[in-house]
């Protein structure tokens, strides 16, 4: 086997490269619903109906779709208890749990800084209306 037949060394992940697989991870957790669901599950195993009540504004369809996507990507685990009345719980997987600290920090940042964001948006809108 000649030198040209050897595989090229892999380069480190670069999320700015559109072909980078790590970029998919950012796209997955950048969704507001994914962030809210993962943050809600950081409190422990939770049933579907509890998530629906906890996360204001999410539809059942969007909750189900996002949970399935998070489960498919290994961030959420689903447990079906196979009882007479359907009972399913969701919880963070070890991979999802490893993201929990980062998402909690993001939640706290948003809660702490939303007044400044609101003020900046209002100031911008006022300047734009004067143009």
Please state at what angle helix 94-129 crosses helix 32-41, rounded to 10 degrees. Answer: 140
Q: pLDDT class for 8, splitting at 50, 70, 90?
A: low
Tell me if the pTM is above 0.75: yes
Q: Is residue 3 part of a domain?
A: no
Considering the chain, what percentage of its residues have pLDDT values greater than 70?
Answer: 93
d(CA 67, CA 37): 8
Q: Is the C-alpha dihedral spanning 35, 39, 113, 123 positive or negative?
A: positive
Q: Is residue 12 part of a domain?
A: no
Give the CATH number for residue 89.
1.10.10.10
Q: Is residue 2 part of a domain?
A: no
d(CA 74, CA 82): 22
Model pLDDT, residue 19: 87
Domains in the chain, number:
1
Q: Is residue 60 part of a domain?
A: yes
Stronger pLDDT, 41 or 28, i.e. the higher one: 41
H or E element that contains 40:
helix 32-41
Q: Is residue 38 part of a domain?
A: yes
Q: What tens digit of pLDDT does each residue of 32-85 get?
A: 999 999 999 999 999 999 999 999 999 999 999 999 999 999 999 999 988 888
Q: Is residue 113 part of a domain?
A: yes
**Structure tokens given for 69:** 């996507």
Long-range contacts of 47-52 (CB under 8 A, 24+ apart): 47/87, 47/88, 47/89, 47/90, 48/88, 48/90, 51/90
Q: Is residue 10 part of a domain?
A: no
Q: Is residue 18 part of a domain?
A: no
Residue matched to tokens 């609101």: 118
Q: Which domain holds residue 108?
A: 25-130
Looking at residue 82, the DSSP 8-state letter turns out to be -
| Cα angle, residue 42 at apex, residues 36 and 44 outer, rounded to 5° | 125
């Amino acid at each position: 086997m000649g030198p040209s037949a050897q595989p090229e060394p892999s380069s480190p992940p670069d999320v700015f490269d559109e072909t980078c697989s790590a970029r998919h991870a950012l796209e997955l957790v950048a969704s507001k619903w994914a962030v809210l669901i993962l943050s809600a599950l950081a409190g422990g195993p939770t049933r579907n109906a509890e998530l629906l009540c906890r996360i204001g504004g999410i539809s059942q369809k969007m909750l189900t779709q996002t949970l399935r996507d998070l489960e498919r990507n290994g961030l959420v685990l689903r447990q079906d208890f196979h009882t007479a009345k359907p009972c399913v719980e969701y919880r963070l997987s070890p991979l999802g749990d490893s993201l929990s600290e980062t998402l909690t920090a993001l939640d706290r940042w948003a809660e702490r800084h939303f007044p400044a964001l609101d003020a900046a948006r209002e100031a911008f809108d006022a300047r734009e209306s004067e143009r």
